[in-house]
Amino acid sequence: MEENKKVIESIITDIDESATLNLFQYEIGSVELYTNLKGNLIGEDSNININSIYFGYGKNELNLFYDIYHHAKKSNSDIMVNGALRDESYKNFKSTLDFKEGSSGSIGSEEEYATLLSDDVIALSVPVLLAHEDDVQGNHAASAGKIDTDLLFYLMSRGLDQQQAESLIILSRFAKAIDSIENQELKDLINDRVQEIVRR
């Protein structure tokens, strides 16, 4: 969460039979970010679940790349990314679900949703789905848009100012990832940080 920092992170994992990896990422501060995950589901009934949030502001540049390779039968993957962008920030999200030969019975999902708080942001999303087997199920979705004006009006009619209403909406979309944190102090820190960015 430190400002004016360039962050480069790479995660490579092999997930064996009946094992599960749950990964949560919170990207809410670095001025330039490059994060890459390569997940290999190599054991039958192996699982990977990714739940990430990001918030770009100022001239932040965020690059998020997720590559999941289904090698084994009945393997499962779930990528869920929620983000918000404001000012002149830039986001490049790319994810690939690759069902390799021998991965029959596998299920994969990749979803990314971006909330745009300014007209000058750039939001790129490229979800890719590759299948070398017939008996697999792959789902992908990506969307980017402004906050619903009716919802914003409703919250403001209940006494919230625009910044408070926007932060409440964004925090509701981030809630699942944030609520997974067991440390209450860290959870409060992330909530406060999101509200601070919205109110700038």
**93 within some domain:** yes
Tell me how far the alpha carbon of residue 158 is from its chain's centroid: 30
In a domain, 188, yes or no: no
pLDDT tens digits along 126-137: 999 999 999 999
Domain interval for residue 28: 6-146
**15 in a structural domain:** yes
In a domain? residue 51: yes
**Looking at the domain assignment, is residue 112 inside a domain?**
yes
Note whether residue 36 is domain-resident. yes
Q: Please count the CA atoms within 13 angstroms of the CA of 192 that sit on its side-chain side.
A: 7
What is the pLDDT averaged over residues 70-93? 97
| Structural domains counted in the chain | 1
| Inside any domain, residue 183 | no
Cβ–Cβ contacts within 10 Å for residue 160, how many?
15
Structure tokens at 141: 């979705």
- Reference 43, options 11, 21, 71; nearest CA is 71
pTM across the whole model: 0.91
Residues 6+ apart with CB under 8 A from 9: 34, 35, 36
- For residue 158, pLDDT over 80 is answered with yes
Q: Is residue 14 part of a domain?
A: yes
pLDDT band at 83 (very low <50, low <70, confident <90, very high): very high
